[in-house]
Structure 1
């Protein structure tokens, strides 16, 4: 027994994961049975000693076992069988057919997923479930077959799945848990949340499940059911690992992270709580290998309920629109504008003619609350406004030029497509750098003196790579529109505003910076 104990101390315990890699080496194959045998030997010896003297210790001491502890030790741990029997009939497998010629975008997405590119975006296998010959070029007129999952939400055949499962599908076919096959039609899709509603006609008694009204807690059990790798009817279990995840998938990311294994084909399937209600829709996995590594992402039930209700009523989703470009408020930005806390969303640029611009919201204003609810950051603002109906009135708390004020405005409707804002580029070859502001590490010139830079602001003509501005991402060619909330048109204006910020005791100054992609605010420390 002592030899067995020493062996265990040297080699550790048996890991179930080792069995997956049992063919990696001969020595590991030999070692594993010995570990199991030794564990069995230790257990057998212990059982024999205890059996030799019932009710007493082999060392002469009678062990005490509390009645509650004894009952707990003999009780069988509850499983998920009853829950699965209740919800599994409502889960479906979804199969689609897509004509390659009619869906170039889907082809590009699939090719990106199958590639070896290891960018953060590609690691989120969103369109997992499509099949095709690996590494082989697609042929013209080829029909792509895709598989995903879904679940009925009503007895008359309405079912939820992912937008990326049915997007551009020429036909949709579903298979129920009992093996019956039906044709479904796409009622509506919402690419921004990756949700879709489909409908099976001709039957009124489909088993269905409901969305949960409660937000799951981190650590709660979760059971996922779906169609991984086309196998159908597969059940996995885990816990809620995190909430509020932003994976860079879209403007309204607010995913629930789970560790219940989900794989290719689980897209659109449900994740259940222990009462049998849907807490989320499986939509993405983080996977360098393409298979489950225990990090999956679900669209929350609260989001899915709102989107699906609109898809059922109107076939599309309309969202409220404020009309501002925003960014989070960092500690440096908060200090530079006198905010006590780094929270809210700072307005980079109100769009002309938008509800925000018409209401008087200006660049540099910070939206801190909507209808009395505090706004955490820019993404929180986008999600909050998107849940409100176009035309509805909202009350905004705004930090404006060092003071808090409240304004009420009517939301517009989020445009389906917004034109990109073009900005001029600097031609440094034709302009010599003017005397700059060495404390920021910049050389500047009036925008009007630089070809293609427009007439507003000053152009960055040179950046000290060791200066504070470079450390905040300011680059040659950027146009500084205002400093400390004041519009600038010359190097003198910039110096004046820097001096004002310094005399006010600010540790940093807020710059509004425009480049070819967007307008943003940058807080630069004052050296």
Structure 2
């Protein structure tokens, strides 16, 4: 179960006591006035039929990983050797076994989670973090049958995974309509918290569209969810799965009354791609965005705080080709309103790459419609590899590290694109450099009043600069040049 940093009981005795007092002494009065003041009493829901209906579709998922065990020295294991080392006892000279001793991989338990049967032919849905890094996945049904599962695909961005077991005629879940789900509605969870299989907990929907991720508006509930519930279903009173239990807000590691579930419609969309091609393809347009404040909205004539403010446009991106400019406010995408900044990444991400669609921007007091062709987000593996490659090309002297900078030479193509005659590109900015506002891909063209054409100039200027005083830096971000001061840590 994932825990995030920012990470019920109904009391009926008050009503019962009030009625008892009224009946015993009539102190509260009698007649119509008393009858009108009595609140309506509703019975609590009975979940027994739901458990019988959905329970067989919920599975327990165990994962293992192979670890190399170190060969014993002189015939003794590590615990015995540690005993001798700790108390200064010489290691006995026991004759070694003949021949080379190689580490033997051992299967070690890695974790326990939950899942549910998506189709009768053995597709099971769970969380990506449940199966991440696993060498073996074991699925246990409620009838105690066990299967070794194959990981069909996993998507870290949405935390959805699909595994396949070799079985047919399985009891699949019914998928519900998340749009019909309402705050205050009763819901139920089944899973394996702390490895306790087939545990049933219940509560209500606390909120919908809760923003805790780039691509997902989570369902917030007060259903008791704990480590091991990950990947299990969130079920409505019609016996339909409406979400996948994924995260909890906790300061203790245990349940604190707030849990989050991935909406099932989003999860199904991801699972279909995982089952078809083994990965998820997402759209991108190449803009940096932020929220629109109320003051800005009023001052430019937008009226209310809505949309996504474009801070920057990536060179050669679909946004640039469509004519989107820094300072534009994107208010609609593909005919759908962009109410808040987090709406745009979801709408674009759910668009198939290559799709041609419309986008509405608010610019200098007027709205205009633009046509845009969606590109594809790089697969996570490629993005990580690319970042690692950039990092390896970056240079960081001890002086640069002190101010939190890793920089790299500009290529000829980058100089031509940025229309500069030199400079160094920021690979990473942390500590003092980050506090000064520098970030990845900024180009430093001057430092401490010295022109920077390459890494050699940068290192020389930095070596001469007084590190006890603020260092002025002139840098380019896109088409714009600006100054900032890197202040030493105190």
Structure-2-length-normalised TM-score: 0.66
Distance 2:215 2:330 in 1: 18
1:273 matches 2:236: yes
> How much does 1:453 deviate?
7.0
Preserved contact between residue 150 and residue 161 of structure 1 (Cα < 8 Å): yes
Is residue 233 from structure 1 mapped to residue 233 from structure 2 by the alignment? Answer: no
* Structure 1 vs Structure 2 CA RMSD: 4.2
Contact 2:359 2:370 in 1 (8 A): yes
CA deviation vs aligned residue, 1:137-158 (integer Å, no higher than 9, x gap)? xx99672421000001111111
Deviation at 1:170, TM superposition (A): 0.9
Please say if residues 152 and 209 of structure 1, whose CA atoms lie closer than 8 Å, have aligned partners that are also in contact: no
Partner of residue 98, structure 1: 65
Rounded to whole Å, the distance in 2 between the matches of 1:321 and 1:61 is 69
Unaligned runs of 5+ in 1: 1-14, 18-38, 51-56, 103-138, 430-441, 456-474, 492-512, 516-527
User: Residue 67 of structure 1: CA displacement?
Assistant: 11
Show the counterpart of 1:346.
309
> Which residue of structure 2 lines up, in the alignment, with residue 86 of structure 1?
53
**Mapped partners of 2:299, 2:395: distance in 1:** 28
Alpha carbons of structure 1 residues 396 and 61: separation in structure 2 relative to 1, 3 Å = closer
Q: Of the candidates 299, 318, 322, which is equivalent to residue 281 of structure 2?
A: 318
- Partner SS for 1:378: coil
Tell me the residue number matched to 2:214: 251
In structure 1, distance between residues paired with 2:266 and 2:452: 42
**Per the alignment, in what secondary structure is the counterpart of residue 146 of structure 1?**
strand
**What residue in structure 2 maps to residue 381 of structure 1?**
344
What secondary structure sits across from 1:394 in the alignment? strand
Equivalent position to 2:253, from 284, 287, 290: 290
| Gap change, CA 1:388 and 1:481, over 3 Å in 2 | closer
Deviations 1:68-93, CA, capped at 9 Å, x for gaps: 999x87x9644111112111111111
Inter-CA distance 188–490: structure 2 relative to 1 (3 Å threshold): closer
Q: State the distance in 1 between where 2:351 and 2:374 align.
A: 8
- Alpha-carbon distance change, 49 to 220 in structure 1, aligned in 2, over 3 angstroms: closer
Structure 2 partner of 1:466 = none
Equivalence for 1:134:
none
Distance 2:114 2:245 in 1: 9
Q: 1:233 to 1:339 in 2, by over 3 A?
A: same
Alignment pair present for 1:202 and 2:190 = no
2: distance between equivalents of 1:488 and 1:77?
62
- Give the superposition deviation at 1:315: 1.5
- The answer as to whether partners of 1:329 and 1:345 remain within 8 angstroms in 2 is yes
| C-alpha displacement of 1:205 | 3.3
What is the aligned counterpart of 1:188 among 153, 167, 170? 153
SS at match of 1:168: coil
Within 2, Cα distance between the matches of 1:48 and 1:321? 67
Alpha-carbon deviation of 1:363?
A: 1.8
Paired position in structure 2 for 1:176: 141
Cα distance change, pair 358–180 in 1 and its aligned pair in 2 (3 A): same
SS of the counterpart of 2:342? helix
Q: How far off its partner does 1:343 sit? A: 1.4
Q: Is the 8 A contact 1:256 1:299 kept in 2?
A: yes
Q: Is the 8 A contact 1:318 1:390 kept in 2?
A: yes
Structure 2: distance between partners of 1:97 and 1:406: 53
1:46 Cα deviation from its structure 2 partner: 5.1
Shift of residue 203 of structure 1?
2.1
Distance 1:313 1:205 in 2: 21
Q: 1:304 and 2:267 equivalent?
A: yes
Counterpart check, 1:164 vs 2:116 = no
C-alpha separation in 2, matches of 1:488 and 1:158: 52
> Match for residue 135 of structure 1?
none
Distance 1:452 1:151 in 2: 62
Name the CA distance, whole Å, in 2 between partners of 1:336 and 1:140.
65
| Residue deviations 1:456-505 (CA, integer Å, cap 9, x gap) | xxxxxxxxxxxxxxxxxxx97585769xxxx66689xxxxxxxxxxxxxx
SS for the counterpart of 1:214 is: helix
Report the CA distance between 1:342 and its aligned residue: 2.1
Gaps of 5+ in 2: 1-7, 70-103, 404-435, 437-442, 455-470
Paired residues of 1:283 and 1:297 also in contact (CA < 8 A): yes
Change (3 A) 1:320 1:63: same
- 3-state SS of paired residue (2:175): coil
Return the structure number with greater strand share.
2
Equivalent residues of 2:66, 2:105 under 8 A apart: no
Distance in structure 1 (CA, Å) of the matches to 2:141 and 2:354 = 41
Number of equivalences: 375
